[in-house]
Amino acid sequence: MSNENILTTATVISSSLQLQAIITDFIQKARESGKIPLIAVIGPTASGKTALGIALAQAYSGEIISADSRQLYTEMNIGTAKPTAEELKAARHHIIDLISPDKPFTLADYQKLANQTILEIHSRHHIPILVGGTGLYINSITQNYTLSDSRPDPTHRAEMEDLAKTQGKEAVHDILAKLDPDSASRIHAHNLRYVIRAIEIARQASRTGQSQTEDSPYLTFYIFIDWPREVLYDRINRRIDRQIEDGLIEETRQLLTKYPDNPPALSSLGYQEIGEYLAGRTTLENAIEEFKKHTRNYAKRQLTWFRKIKSLYSIAGTELAEFISSMQNI
């Protein structure tokens, strides 16, 4: 497999000085236009978004708004690669540790809370910084989706149930993976009711985004962390090894004991595979390998999503440490 960088359509930023100049100019243009400057740090899982987001927040008086659909749950710490206590102290974070894993939290809930948080950050004369890899969360803010209650569609539901009967539940799950990779990573194919509901919500959001005409109150600067594919996969594998060492098995055991009804959040990456091991249905070695494989596949789907974003800037992941170090001297 080629070791070339993944994204080819972005404007590449080659130095930290160039990044500083672009961001400074961006903030000035946003203010002149009467819009709120919004920085969005995006990229696939394990690409280093948290570290870059913190560096930007420290350099530009920013506050971080998580755009990760799993880090908002309490108790799910290791498996979601939630920022550490040290990282949370390094920059102010929002929309992390909000609700328990058995509570519902919709795209509309996120949009409302994130918009309120951005206004509060702006009122403090700070820069709001979206950091995360949940595509629908990011688009709902940057593209100013007009979301309404997406009610169940009996006709569509019947079609999806028929598809599951004829081609298997995985065929329905594949549809969700194309529409909303993040939800697909959180909801197991066997949870057909949740999968179909997520498809309905994702389709409604997609139609909204395609027809959205209302002007956004934000001017957004997208920055993508671009790693060679093999390097990214190695980072994913090594992070999962650390998660196992840090106690993911025990965290999963405690969560499944506390929430025996297995809410969708606990069928997401890591918890699903380790849950299979704890239930005695597979070996630990196989569970870890499945966790790694599924996470790599999730990263592929994230990349497909991010390629759709226009006016995207990127920095090479191999130079990320240098960028962060230079920003600490601003």
pLDDT tens, residue by residue, 161-190 = 888 889 898 888 888 888 888 677 768 787
* From-to residues of CATH 3.40.50.300 in the chain: 11-144+217-245+308-327
Q: Domain spanning 11-144+217-245+308-327 has what CATH number?
A: 3.40.50.300
pLDDT tens across 236-257, in order?
999 999 999 999 999 999 999 9
Distance from the first to the final alpha carbon of the chain: 38
Q: Check residue 1 and give its pLDDT.
A: 39
**What is the C-alpha to C-alpha distance for residues 308 and 290, in angstroms, rounded to an integer?**
28
Query: What is the reported pTM?
Result: 0.84
Angle 192-211/169-179 helices, nearest 10 degrees? 30
Q: Which CATH architecture has domain 147-214?
A: Orthogonal Bundle (1.10)
- The one-letter amino acid code at 45 reads T
Q: Check residue 152 and give its pLDDT.
A: 66
Q: Is the dihedral of CA 235, 240, 242, 246 positive or negative?
A: positive
**What is the C-alpha to C-alpha distance for residues 53 and 62, in angstroms, rounded to an integer?**
9
* From-to residues of CATH 1.10.20.140 in the chain: 147-214
Q: Check residue 176 and give its pLDDT.
A: 86
**What is the C-alpha to C-alpha distance for residues 172 and 169, in angstroms, rounded to an integer?**
5
Q: Check residue 210 and give its pLDDT.
A: 44
**What is the C-alpha to C-alpha distance for residues 175 and 184, in angstroms, rounded to an integer?**
9
Tokens found for residue 185: 């990573």
Whether the CB-CB separation of 127 and 35 falls below 8 Å is answered with no
Q: Check residue 212 and give its pLDDT.
A: 47
The DSSP H or E segment spanning 85 is helix 85-90
Query: Which residue ranges of the chain lie beneath pLDDT 50?
Result: 1-3, 209-213
Strand order in the sheet with 218-226: 11-12, 312-316, 218-226, 36-42, 127-131, 62-66, 93-94
